[in-house]
Structure 1
Amino acid sequence: MTSSAERGDGRLAMLNDFLAYTLAGTRPAANETQGTCAGGVRWSWLDDGVLLMEPARLTADTRSVLASAGVHGDETAPIELLSYLVRDIARDEAALTCRLLVILGNVDAMRDACRYRDDDLNRLFSGRHLQLPHSHEAPRAAALEQAATQFFATAPRQPGARWHIDMHTAIRASAFERFALLPHTGRLFSRAMFEWLGQAHISAVLLHTTKGNTYSHFTAQTCEAAACTLELGKVRPFGQNDLMRFVGADRALRHLLAGTNGSAQAELPRAFTVIDQITKRSEAFELLVAPDVANFTPFGKGIVLARDGDYRYVVQHDEERLVFPNATVKPGLRAGLMVIETTQDTLSKLV
């Protein structure tokens, strides 16, 4: 029997190159939105850049994993990785034992080779898009919230049953080339997540201490998923990425989807906890660091890092590290995060 992925009906092109299919704006005909591919994996095209894949056999304990990339349209390497992952699962060259929702986030920005059109999509979740109804990104934020909510609605609630891996690349260099951010939910952090991050060759984890408006914050808080944001390298145009630099995250994700352990003895990443935020209050804002300062650059006590009218940010601890410095954001938004290392305390409290 010929599988739907093997017929010349346009579905082969979708699964073989989900990225190209999505960038072209192709939408399947009403009778071509789902099918079965090699190995019995069932798939359903749900929306532009949104694809559901499920193994032939589902049980009450089947894990559900949301894998997203391209929430910022110019962060191309993880988008390419997800497209190759879809192809390999469709060809039965990568195992799938869980439900998988693949999401390419800001598709319009991907097509325009820009980060976003009007507003940073990764600041519009948890309902913040309702405050910016005229933003080009607002409808996409609402659609991605709905996609995640519907996907996790039927997933079991026991620990480890719901995952969200949101993959990004950083604008600038970093003292840790690959690092992760874990959202604040009020719950203790998961040892399983830290072990998986170690397998993904993640060197450092940034722990948020307040709720946010990122996609991983939304899925962690609203969908009760074990969620993380991965920063895996530098922003590059499509086709210019050295994907070997991302092999750790790619392999770890494939092991997660296959239900295998991968490198069980991987070293756990270092942990850094957010202690403050530098906020751009007006257009008079000045960030008093070099324009190319790397993420996680340390600064000593007493150093003034930013000023904006009467506002000053002065380092209060013996050492604080600056992450995501960006003086060009709109007033009212974050221009940098300040973190301190808390590795020993964090690892002792994992559950």
Structure 2
Amino acid sequence: MTSSAEAVLADFLGATLAGTRPADASQAQGACANDTVRWQWLDEGVLLLEPARVSETTPSVLLSAGVHGDETAPIELLAKIVADLAAGRLALACRVLVVLGNVAAMRAAMRYQDDDLNRLFGGRHARVPQSREAPRAVALEAAAQRFFAAASTQPGRRWHLDMHTAIRASAFEQFALLPYTGGEPTRAMFDWLADARIAAVLIHTEKGATYSSFTADHCGATACTLELGKVRPFGENDLARFANADAALRRLLAGATKTDNALLPRVFTVIGQITKQSDAFALHVAADVPNFTPFARDTVLAEDGAYRYVVAHDEERIVFPNPTVKPGLRAGLLVVETTEATLAALI
């Protein structure tokens, strides 16, 4: 590697925020970790790392963070993983595509500039052609498709873990969201989530517009969105709080054995959505109410003109309540616990 390439890999986050780009094609690829890892800079915030030897059974793992630019802890974790892979401190047993999502928003310390990037996948970027997020959604879709086009076709060899942090506190500090695929969730994903000490899983029941939904639907990836804590500025994260998830990520990349006696997460299934229809929207949920807070039957959670969301089950829990979204977007999800039935049906 040239010295500039070494600097980019050693501080991938710093180089990305600074807008550092390879001077030419020869500077955009090379070998590291004593020639055991090949790397290629593909785009701003997009880096491919592969073992020197790749076979038909080599797993392919897409690791993304920063799809929301102010969710910094997973971005910092991912940059440290890149540095350790490049230096040979972490073995690499799979192909890995590292993606820092909304780089412009990361630089501005904003969630997004014009539109929520994680609502623009699956071609939805075409609805907002003037948005500064639209070209990035196109680029990230294409990066994922190119990466998985070269991946093993054997079952369970394609993974995508999209890492986030939540705006609100949560009854379960670290939880995961599984996109709708039309099939049952996989035991492999639940085993990995248990290894990462993820406390709860939310299962979607309709196709979505998120990055993990896109890779599950269009790339055949075993995918999930990880929520690893609360939003904080760069440099203010206590990364020790994410040690279990970080260790599980590293074991996945190295092909190492999972830890024993890890409890499977509790499971919740989406049964309703609150949609903001106009600026008259009122969400009857206090700003300090954590994710997964339960509400009893007949509780009115939201009103917007003639629209009302009323709890229809004995207990529903709210996730991602956010009255500040644009009209037409989701202002909250309602879930019920389905742990026993879901775990019994894992494939």
Structure-1-length-normalised TM-score: 0.97
Report the equivalent of 2:48.
52
Report the equivalent of 1:11.
5
Q: Given the alignment of the two structures, is residue 22 of structure 1 paired with residue 12 of structure 2, yes or no?
A: no
Map 1:110-121 onto structure 2 (within 5 A): 110-121=106-117
Map 1:118-267 onto structure 2 (within 5 A): 118-267=114-263
Paired residue for 1:35, among 13, 30, 39? 30
Q: Match for 2:246: what amino acid?
A: D
Question: How far is the alpha carbon of 1:127 from its aligned partner?
Answer: 0.2
Question: How far is the alpha carbon of 1:93 from its aligned partner?
Answer: 0.3
RMSD: 0.7
Q: Match for 2:278: what amino acid?
A: S
SS of equivalent to 2:205: coil
For residues 273 and 190 of structure 1, what CA distance do their matches in structure 2 show? 15
C-alpha distance 188-157 of structure 1, shift in aligned 2 (>3 A):
farther
Report the equivalent of 1:102.
98
Question: How far is the alpha carbon of 1:265 from its aligned partner?
Answer: 2.4
For residues 257 and 282 of structure 2, what CA distance do their matches in structure 1 show? 47
Paired residue for 1:319, among 302, 315, 318? 315
Q: Match for 1:229: what amino acid?
A: T
SS of equivalent to 2:113: coil
Question: How far is the alpha carbon of 1:291 from its aligned partner?
Answer: 1.3
SS of equivalent to 1:198: helix
For residues 198 and 73 of structure 2, what CA distance do their matches in structure 1 show? 16
SS of equivalent to 1:338: strand
For residues 294 and 326 of structure 1, what CA distance do their matches in structure 2 show? 11
Report the equivalent of 2:341.
345
SS of equivalent to 1:312: strand
Q: Match for 2:91: what amino acid?
A: A
Map 1:294-333 onto structure 2 (within 5 A): 294-333=290-329
Paired residue for 1:286, among 272, 275, 282? 282
Paired residue for 2:74, among 48, 53, 78? 78
For residues 287 and 65 of structure 2, what CA distance do their matches in structure 1 show? 26
Q: Match for 1:196: what amino acid?
A: W
SS of equivalent to 2:268: strand
For residues 153 and 174 of structure 2, what CA distance do their matches in structure 1 show? 29
SS of equivalent to 2:308: strand
For residues 221 and 117 of structure 2, what CA distance do their matches in structure 1 show? 20
For residues 84 and 283 of structure 1, what CA distance do their matches in structure 2 show? 42
- 42-51 vs 32-41, which moves further: 32-41
Q: Match for 2:22: what amino acid?
A: P
C-alpha distance 187-158 of structure 1, shift in aligned 2 (>3 A):
farther
Q: Match for 1:62: what amino acid?
A: T
Q: Match for 1:207: what amino acid?
A: I
Question: How far is the alpha carbon of 1:292 from its aligned partner?
Answer: 1.4
- 267-276 vs 254-263, which moves further: 254-263
Question: How far is the alpha carbon of 1:158 from its aligned partner?
Answer: 2.2
1:159-212 C-alpha deviation (Å, 9 max, x unpaired): 210000000000010000000000001021000100100111100000000000
Q: Match for 1:103: what amino acid?
A: V
For residues 223 and 122 of structure 1, what CA distance do their matches in structure 2 show? 17
- 283-292 vs 64-73, which moves further: 283-292
Q: Match for 1:179: what amino acid?
A: F
Structure-2-length-normalised TM-score: 0.99
For residues 169 and 38 of structure 1, what CA distance do their matches in structure 2 show? 30
Question: How far is the alpha carbon of 1:289 from its aligned partner?
Answer: 1.3
For residues 342 and 181 of structure 2, what CA distance do their matches in structure 1 show? 15
Report the equivalent of 2:270.
274
For residues 109 and 92 of structure 1, what CA distance do their matches in structure 2 show? 31
For residues 66 and 268 of structure 1, what CA distance do their matches in structure 2 show? 23
Aligned residues, how many? Answer: 345
